[in-house]
Structure formats: C-alpha cells, structure tokens
Amino acid sequence: MNQITIKDLALKLGLSTSTISRALNDHPDINIQTKKLVNDLATKLEYEPNFMARNLQSKNSHQIGIIVPEIKHDFFSKAISGIEEVAYKNGFTVVVSQSNEDVEREKLNANSLYLNRIAGIIVSLSQTTKNVDHFKTLLSKGVKIVMFDRVAEGIDTYKVVVDDYQASYDAVKYLIGKGFKSIIHLAGPQTLLNCKNRYLGYKAAIEDSNIEFKEELVFYGGMHEDDGKMDIENLINNKIHFDAIFAVNDPVAIGASVVLKKNGLRVPEDVAIIGFSNNPITEYVSPSITTIDQPAYEMGKMSASILIALIRGEEMPTTSKNTKLEAKLILRESA
C-alpha cells in the first residue's frame, strides 16, 4: 500500500515537487523534455495521483451523489446508468444511495454526501418527502442540486422531468376514445410534482370530454404494487363501478391487474388498465400492460449534463430550469 507520491518522483529526479506537479498536469511553463522525464518515471513507477489530496486542495471532489428511492426499479437503474455514462466521460465518479422511500433516510443520505464534499447531487424524491427543507439547506450552503422525475415544487433548482401532464392527458383521452366511461385514477402522493401532474392530466382529459369529473374516482395512495392491490380490493368490496384504470405507475397498475384477475374480471374487456414508466415487467405479465414510456436513460444523461455544467460554472445545456422530455404511450393488451 506504499504509494508513490510526487515527492518520490521529485527526489529521484532531483527536481522540486512543484515542477513534478506542473509536469504531470501539462503546465505550459515546463520544458517539454522535463515533462517527458517526469512522465516516463511516473509510468515506470506506476505513480497514481492521490485524489483525496488533490480534492482537499481544490475543495471539490469530482464525485456526483445520487439519491433515488430504490435502485431496483428499472426506471431508476436506467437513469443511474445514464448519469454514470455522462459522469465518467467528464471525469466524475458516482456515489449512489437509496432513500428506501423514507424521508429520514433521504436526509441522512443527503447530509452524508455533503460531508464527503460531494461536487453535486442528483435526486429523485422519496414518496414520504412532504417538504424539501433539507435540500433547501444544502442549496443555501452552495451545493449544486438537480432533481429528476420525482421533483418538488417550491424549490429553486434545475429539474428534469417528462411531460407528465401531457402524457397522462393523452393516455386518458385514449381510454375515452375507446369508449370507457368510468375511468378511475390511482394517484400518487401529491407532494411529488410528477404525481400531481399525472393527476392534473387525468382530470383535464376527463373534463375536456363529455364526462363528468368525479373526485371520488381518484384514489390517493403509494406507488407500490400493494397500493394498487389494496385500492382495487376496496373498490370491489364496496361494489363501486369502474371500467378503466389510469395508474400513477406500473407497479400500481400490475397490483390492480392481479386483483382484478383474482376476482374473475377480464382485462381489458371488463376493466382496461394503463400504467406509467414502461417497466419491462409490463411486457411480461399477462395481459401485458399498456403504459407510458419514460426515457429514463436520457433523463439520467440530461440530469448529469446539467449538474456538471452547474458545478463547472459553464454555460447550461438548457435554457429553462425545467427540462421536459417527451413520454409516449405504449399500446399493449391491457387497454
């Protein structure tokens, strides 16, 4: 573990550490021959710069912190891959942490990243995050933050989302066009802006048609499979009539589908279903689930590009603080 340092190189070459440092960093002042000398010895001795020392000196770490609810969700793991892609290309490494849908864990993660003097944070909020004061604090301390997908209102930072409103609007319009009349919405936490927009898109689509909007047909819950199951079980037990479901995301849609089948209801003949995110599993379940594709990988890349520009104080890749990427309806068997 005995690391070669620039001091070692300096000693062997009879030069000063500053010359070594400059040579290694290709500083214009240094004689080209000296540079060669230094670099040759460095490779020969397998010199590896100590990033910790360099970071301490330069006061920033070239590490990007990511906080997502759960990496096991296909959407998030794809987004992370996108972030990694851009990060590596720009000489940044990536630290991933999960909030497990728990605000408290989210706070801990955020703070721990900060203590490690992370260069910036890319975050997608947990379900239980009601307010984002912990991120506002970091922001005020100068930490660069980009939010994606699960973003919050009322925090002044860059955000990368999909046009949740429009995509939801289109999906529900599609259901209406197919003749469905009692379309319920299994909604997510309205503190999350994307969930709110999905709800608003649903509402607008209904109101723009000749159907009466009923708030009683909106059921607010979580974003897991169990939430979808519970909602539909309740509806069936209470004999509430509906012929289509617009779910806030795919797990909820799948949970709903499972319960419907168990109760002898046919999908889509008796009840149609549309989910959100295009999780690969939606293609495998039977019936396969109609859903909305979010460009997860692209969202990750975009978030990273923005964050890195922010860190470097460079020109931003986007004009607006709110980047909206396109999402599109993927037709399958369930609707």
Q: How far is the CB of 11 from a copy of itself (least distance, A)?
A: 20
Q: Please give, one letter per residue, the 3-state secondary structure of the chain.
A: CCCCCHHHHHHHHCCCHHHHHHHHCCCCCCCHHHHHHHHHHHHHCCCCCCHHHHHHHHCCCCEEEEEECCCCCHHHHHHHHHHHHHHHHCCCEEEEEECCCCHHHHHHHHHHHHHCCCCEEEECCCCCCCCCHHHHHHHHCCCEEEEECCCCCCCCCEEEEECHHHHHHHHHHHHHHCCCCCEEEEECCCCCHHHHHHHHHHHHHHHCCCCCCCHHHEEECCCCHHHHHHHHHHHHHCCCCCCEEEECCHHHHHHHHHHHHHCCCCCCCCCEEECCECCCHHHHCCCCCEEEECCHHHHHHHHHHHHHHHHHCCCCCCCCCEEEECCEEECCCCC
Residues in 46-75 at the binding interface with DNA, rule: CB under 7 A: 49-50, 53-54, 56-59
Q: How far is the CB of 306 from DNA (least distance, A)?
A: 25
Sole window of 16-24, 118-126, 188-196, 198-206 interacting with DNA (rule: CB under 7 A)? 16-24
Q: Which does 14 bind (CB under 5 to 8 A by kind): DNA, a copy of itself, none?
A: DNA
Residue placing its CB nearer to DNA in the complex, 18 or 234: 18
Residue placing its CB nearer to DNA in the complex, 22 or 198: 22
Residues in 21-50 at the binding interface with DNA, rule: CB under 7 A: 21-22, 24-25, 29-31, 33-34, 49-50
Among residues 7, 89, 130, 262, which is the contact residue for DNA, using CB under 7 A? 7
The residues of the shown chain that bind a copy of itself, judged by CB under 8 A, are 1, 48-53, 55-56, 61, 63, 70-72, 74, 77-78, 80-81, 84, 88, 93-98, 100, 108, 112-117, 141-143, 254, 280-281, 284-286
Q: Nearest-CA neighbor of 232 among 271, 290, 205?
A: 271
Residue placing its CB nearer to a copy of itself in the complex, 32 or 115: 115
Q: How far is the CB of 43 from DNA (least distance, A)?
A: 14
Among residues 16, 131, 234, 322, which is the contact residue for DNA, using CB under 7 A? 16
Q: Which does 190 bind (CB under 5 to 8 A by kind): DNA, a copy of itself, none?
A: none
Residue placing its CB nearer to DNA in the complex, 48 or 226: 48
User: Contact residues for DNA (CB under 7 A)?
Assistant: 3, 5-7, 14-19, 21-22, 24-25, 29-31, 33-34, 49-50, 53-54, 56-59
